[in-house]
Each structure stands twice: as C-alpha cells, then as structure tokens.
Amino acid sequence: MKVLANDGISLAGEQALKEAGIEVLNNRVAQDHVIKFINENNVDVLLVRSATKVKQDIIDACPGLSIIGRGGIGMDNIDVEYARSKGIKVINTPTASSKSVAELVFAHFFSLARFLHESNRLMPLEGETHFNALKKSFHNAYELSGKTLGVIGFGSIGQEVVKMGIALGMKVKVLTRKPRTEVLTLSFFDGQTVNFEITSTNDTDAFLKDADFISINTPKTNEYIIDTPQFEKMKDGVYIVNTARGGVINEVTLLDFIESGKVMGAALDVFENEPTPELPLLMNPSLSLSPHVGGNTVDAQEKIGLELAEQIIKLKKETIQ
C-alpha cells in the first residue's frame, strides 16, 4: 500500500505507517498535478488537510485510490458521498484537534477581554511615549470567571470549549438545532475527575440574551448563523469568537454592531474570503485575528497523524482478510 500525504503528516503518523509496511510519499503536489502523480506512482491512499481539494475529477481519474483521508474534522474539500459511491473509504480525525481549537477560542477571549490584541499592536509604537495613556485606555477589562459562556454547537470542539469554560468558573449555555444532553468529564492532573451533565437548548432568543461570551463551533453552513436578527438579541457588550468556518457569521454586519457598541469585541480565525480576508476586518482594532490556525499545534498534528495511521492500518488489515 502506498500513501501520498499531500498536505503533510506528523512524524509519529508517518512512522506508524512505515512500521506497518506502508510506503509514505511526502511530496507536495500542486492541485493541477495531483491526478498525474497519483496514477504514475500507483498511490492507494490520498491524505489531505485543507489545501488539497479532492473532487469528482480526481475521484474519476484515479481508479486506484482506495482511501481518502482528511486530517481534521470538516471534509468540505472532499466529495465524500461521491467517493463512497465509488467504493472509496473516506476517513477523517473528528476529535484529534478539538482541544487545540478550544484553547484558541479562550486565547482570543482572554485577548479581547484584556485588550491584549490591541496593546500588543500599540506598545511597540507608543509604549515609550504614551505609556500612561495606553494604560488608561485599557482599564475597562473583564474577568471570564462568573460570566456566561454561550457555545453554538455541541460536537467535540464545542464540548471542549464548554469544559474549559466550566474549569474557569463560567456559567455555560449550549445552543443546538435539537436539545440534547451530554455528560462531560473534566480530568485533572492528579487523576481526579468531575462529571457535568449539560443539556443544550434550541431557544435562540433565550440563549443570546444573557451570554457574555459566545463561541461558534459548528460545521459549515449554507447561511449565516449570526446575522442582524441574532446580533440585535444579544446583550450589550458581548464578545464573540468564530473558529468554525467562514460564512457562519456575517462579517459586514459584525463590523456594524462593533461600531454601534453592541459587540465589545470579536475574534475571527476563519473568514468568508480565505485566504484574502477583507481589509476592513484586518484593520479593525476591536477584532482579534488569526490565520485559520485552530488545529495547528504540534500536539494536534501528532494526534491527527496517528489517528489517520491507525485507521489506514486497520483498513489494510480488513482488506487482506
């Protein structure tokens, strides 16, 4: 079996595959040349992240492919159902990067609540000459403890966000299309664990009206989850973080509600126009921004590589049997 890890794979994942007798090609093949490379090198497994798109053209032109793997949760860049209709196994790693994304959510929340995103911009420019003025301008900060955390989406990332909120002493609320109950376990360094039973709501109005911090953790949607009607129902001074997908929040409307003061600050890790976000977003001092790096930690990449390797090895064994 031969694997093309076109968007890369962790050393741990690569080693696990090689130990199982599977050849790994770490070439970075341009999108236009993927078909030719796969066929010329008799590739059985194509692994991608978000850079490489695996659409119907590749699936039809590469009859030797038996497995397509996505290092991450969403599979927007793969024609999943079409591939499966052709007998190709499609795998992903739905939980491997959850903690990393959740930690980025709180990195942005802390940054916004303490104006770190803005002070880090201004201190190199004005810290020497306007220190006291900067200090005064950033005094209106907030703690997260005791505040209400609203989480939209209750998948693996949403659950990690909820657990981190609980650990910080926040009140938590979860919004889903259909109410459901999950038992979440918080594990601590000394082996102790505490279970929390969390029931989500589908009452958007009640969810929005008292949330101090809102985290969006949903799959890609065909329409905005947060737009004018939702902003209007939020409490004044709310903070919002989107690490889900571009297009779940109306970015133009977001800027309007920042300008009006309804939204105190917001953070975007994903954008409607990637990889070229709109300039008004990039220049707005009330936005904390990152370039779609939610799952980009050494820890998450190692877990992703190992999880993909384990699934491929298992599928190989099943094929041999």
Is 274 an active-site residue?
yes
The total number of residues written for the chain in this structure: 321
Name, in order, each residue with C-beta under 8 angstroms of 299's C-beta and a sequence gap of 6 or more. Answer: 99, 100
- Catalytic residue from among 19, 126, 232, 274: 274
CA–CA distance, 176 with 158 (Å, rounded to integer): 10
Q: Are strands 23-25 and 2-5 parallel, antiparallel or unpaired?
A: parallel
| 220, 272 contact by CB (below 8 A) | no
- Catalytic residue from among 49, 70, 117, 245: 245
Residue listed under structure tokens 């076109």: 6
Query: What letter does residue 314 receive in the DSSP assignment?
Result: H
**Crossing angle between the packed helical segments 98-113 and 156-167, to the nearest 10 degrees:** 50
CA–CA distance, 10 with 12 (Å, rounded to integer): 5
Phi/psi region, residue 318 (left: phi>0; alpha: psi -120 to 50; beta: rest), is: alpha
SS3 (DSSP) at 210:
coil
- Catalytic residue from among 114, 130, 292, 310: 292
Residue listed under structure tokens 């995103």: 117
| 243, 269 contact by CB (below 8 A) | yes
Q: Which residues are catalytic?
A: 245, 274, 292
